[in-house]
Amino acid sequence: MYSFADIPNLHTHTSLCKHAKGNPADYCEVAQKHSDIIGFSDHCPFPDDRNNAERMLFAELTEYRNLVEDAKKQYPGMD
């Protein structure tokens, strides 16, 4: 029987989407205690930055990718 702790979180937002806190590494640190899988699903930006009250800015997209790549390096056991 599975518990909720066994089910990986595949819908994680970071502070770049403006309605969450933390960065990918912060979430990996906690997630690794329960799973070896985590999914990031921030609201991707539009090139014209519309709906930017709940999305990252287009200019932040590279930073977001770098943060996810850094977390992968920092937590190599996480998929």
pLDDT means per 10 residues, the chain with 79 residues, are 72 92 95 91 92 92 96 95
Among positive and negative, which fits the CA dihedral 79, 49, 62, 71? negative
Match 């770049």 to its residue by tokens.
16
Provide the whole-model pTM: 0.85
Please report the pLDDT score of residue 5 as a whole number. Answer: 63
Q: 3-state DSSP call for residue 57?
A: coil
